[in-house]
Amino acid sequence: MSQADPLPLPPGRGGPPIIGETLRFLKDGLGFVERGVAEHGPVFRTSLLGKKAAVISGPEATALFNDETRVARRGGMPPNVQTLFAGEVLPALDGEAHRERKHFVLSAFSHEALESYVPKIRAHARRTLAAIAARGETQALPELQRFTLATILDLMLDVSEGPTIEQLLADYPRIIDGLIALPVPLPGTAYTRAKKALARALAAFGAEVERHRAAPRDDGLGRILAARSPRDGRAITDEEAKGELHHVVIAGFIVWCWLVSVFKEIGRRPELFGKLRAEALALPPDAGFSAIDAAPLMSHAMMEVMRHTPVLPIVFGKAATEITFEGHRIPKGWMILWGWSSSHHEPSVYRDPASFDPERFAPPRSEHAQHPCAFAPQGSGDVARTHKCVGYELAPLMAKVFVLELLRGYEVQVPEQDWSFDKARLPPAPRSRVLVRLGAR
């Protein structure tokens, strides 16, 4: 190749016109990315819903994905996905508009806010565990899902029961199912059901915004409404607040995936959970965010849960300019799909990446320290300036409080079961639906 020759496009197939590889992706997004990376390496091309796309994976890909001069977010999501995320919300904004919105939303996730949320998370965890224990050997998945959704709603809106909560509990799984359905706008399709569910959720959030404006409170929404723009001192608008609430609730809901991994690994690694129990019992029963966050065994176990659990196949972006990556050229305007799960199974960073091994995060191994973006299950960089998750501390806190209550209060039996994941669902759930038996200690 002479110096004037352009770099080649990424390897890959792309599939037939328009539909491209959409159906293969929707059937098993995690497997689709995993197989592509195994075959082609850290960048390959595909085509989804009529758009050309480059899938990128690994720590360098994570760094690229967070460089807004090269990867934009506006226009990155397919239109049906953006519709179900309620349009112009944080992951679809760039530049100053993104920073300003992020400032509003982050005010619900300050350290002081997180400390104030712990008693509520603990109360929900205790109620959930008591309900699971009361049923003897049981499929715990529905209770785990109820726990995460009811908790995030309570933290944000200060409502823990009643018809609004029941409606949202019914509607969020519908909205998520719509995200991986073909966008067929006909009566009765999963996509149409999801749009109707979203309209009901946004109406409920509209009523909550009104209620909170009328009588300010210090829950998550109250904090967001009280924040003022660093640019011009304005408050968030009602429309913006409804959309951001929706995103926070959908994201808080998926924390259940990590709890699935906790039960799966308790069954396989009883000695590890024995040590975790000793650490849990050494903490005061009313330990707050800082104390829980500082517990080292729990911290490494949760990092491994976050690295190891299949939650998302990809996150969406768009090439803001022509990108050179790993000897390939990605044209301006292509979709950029950051391989979220594959980046955390990168064998050059994580030894035996398929195994569950919390000690990989402890010194002297500290495998994640090899690259600043090697461990980014909730994005990387400065949370106020990048697209890093606003729940990067809250999400693990919710899971840790649940595990602490579990270890402090219960003996856990995990029968033999089919832990294989149904990868056509988002997020994937195990086919056994988490069979457990909890006995009081």
Minimum distance from residue 25 beta carbon to ligand HEM (Å): 18
Rule CB under 6 A: is residue 91 a binding residue for ligand HEM?
yes
**Integer Cα distance of 98 and 100 in angstroms:** 6
Q: Which amino acid is at 366?
A: S
Stretch that binds ligand HEM, among 209-217, 224-232, 387-395, 400-408 (CB under 6 A): 387-395
Tokens representing residue 432 in the block: 């056994």
Q: Which amino acid is at 264?
A: K
Give CA separation, 302 vs 130, 149, 262, 420, in Å. 23, 19, 9, 21
**Hunting for tokens 């016109």 — which residue is that?**
17
Minimum distance from residue 322 beta carbon to ligand HEM (Å): 21
According to CB under 6 A, which one of 10, 178, 379, 430 is a site residue for ligand HEM?
Answer: 379
* 44: three-class secondary structure by DSSP: strand
Nearer CB in complex with ligand HEM: 81/130: 81
According to CB under 6 A, which one of 307, 387, 400, 423 is a site residue for ligand HEM?
Answer: 387
Pair 76, 101: CB distance under 8 Å: no
Nearer CB in complex with ligand HEM: 12/91: 91
Rule CB under 6 A: is residue 255 a binding residue for ligand HEM?
yes
According to CB under 6 A, which one of 391, 409, 428, 430 is a site residue for ligand HEM?
Answer: 391
Rule CB under 6 A: is residue 377 a binding residue for ligand HEM?
yes
Nearer CB in complex with ligand HEM: 15/353: 353
Q: What is the DSSP string of 306-339?
A: HHHS---SEEEEEESS-EEETTEEE-TT-EEEEE
**Cα of 169 vs its chain's centroid, Å:** 18
* DSSP alpha helix (H) spans, 41-110: 59-65, 79-84, 95-106
Greatest Cα pair distance, the chain, in angstroms, is 72
Minimum distance from residue 254 beta carbon to ligand HEM (Å): 5
Nearer CB in complex with ligand HEM: 105/204: 105
Residues 269-328 that bind ligand HEM (CB under 6 A): 311, 315
Interface residues with ligand HEM (CB under 6 A) are: 66, 90-91, 102, 105, 247-248, 251-252, 254-255, 257-258, 311, 315, 340, 377-379, 387-391, 394-395
